[in-house]
Amino acid sequence: MEKIDFSENAAAWIGKTIRGFLDNSKENTLKDEKNKRAWADPLVGFSNGADPLYQEFKRHIGSFYWTPTEAFAKAFPHIKVLPDELTVISWVLPQTEETKRVSRKETVYPSENWARARIFGEAVNVRLRQHVVETLTVSGYNAVAPQLSPLWEEKRSERYGDASTWSERHAAYAAGLGTFGLSDGLITPRGKAIRCGSVVAEIEIPASGRPYSESHEYCLFRTQGICGRCIPRCPVDAIDEAGHNKVKCRDHIFRVTAKHVRSHYGFEGYGCGLCQVAVPCESKIPKPSDLE
């Protein structure tokens, strides 16, 4: 198939594709009675497949972690590409103001909006990944969403515990969209109450660049030893000054909140997100003055 030449407008085209899907698709909904919007206006960024950061992820997380080249090869084993011929398209989906507002007052369980965003909102994210891949494909560009690959797996990292072969947050970090917080969430210009998605494509798009030099640069606690507001927000003490206890967090989400969602909200789901709201980094990159 002949490729459509977008020249220097490829980044704008991809951004328009993502925003158009969220603004115009009837699927961007929490699937409640009012069909409330699931996600607010997204952030979009790009990183190059040859970015050394992906090899660094592999060294730190585990040998099982895919580079963009490896993720692409899983989908297109007969196509030979160089790492710098690939672009990782990343996006951040912010929670809506209403979802954040109703979630701030919760102290143990997720709000119904948050639980719906975790299940039905992530279904929107899945469809968005598919939409981006489909749009690229019909335009002549090979593309894959690593998270949707049948070969994607959850893994165990010797250093970090629960992990997987591809991380949407790490791809977003590489694309300059945010840095990690004390609770492992990604702090972005739209805050930490978000979800992420990505697609690896054989297309040339300039990398967005990273306006930071350290993986926790936006976290006030990690960089200045102040804040820590997410610590008391966790109902099961899964966050402390040392970081995030993934086992405690996972147990609460899947063993406790799942029952609450079923009995109180009437659908099969789970979620929490309490550490992502009612904190200075909820909706922006925090400053020390936000603690006053």
58 pLDDT more than 60 = yes
Answer whether residue 195 shows pLDDT above 90: yes
Are 156 and 243 in contact, with CB atoms under 8 Å apart? no
In the prediction, which pLDDT does 2 show?
Answer: 57
Rounded CA gap, 118 and 139, in Å?
31
Radius of gyration of the CA atoms of the chain, in A: 19
**Residue 160 clears pLDDT 90, i.e. is over it:** no
The side-by-side arrangement of strands in the sheet containing 87-94 is 43-48, 87-94, 194-201, 143-144
pLDDT at 143: 99
Q: Is the pLDDT of residue 20 over 80?
A: yes
Q: Within 10 A of 291 (CB to CB), how many other CB atoms are there?
A: 12
Could you tell me what percent of the chain has a pLDDT over 90? 93
Number of Cβ within a 10 Å radius of residue 59: 10
Among 21-25, 69-73, 212-216, 245-249, the minimum mean pLDDT is found in 21-25
pTM: predicted TM-score of the whole model, two decimal places:
0.95
Is the pLDDT confidence value at 96 over 60?
yes
What is the maximal distance between C-alpha atoms in the chain? 58
Whole-number pLDDT of residue 24: 86
pLDDT confidence of 198, banded at 50, 70, 90? very high
Residue 101's pLDDT is: 99
Distance CA 269, CA 159 (A): 29
pLDDT, residue 8, reads 58
DSSP class of 29: B
- pLDDT, residue 256, reads 97
Q: Two tokens at 98?
A: 């209403």
**Is the pLDDT score of 3 beyond 90?**
no
Residues sharing a CB contact under 8 Å with residue 229, sequence separation 6 or more, in sequence order: 278, 279, 280, 291
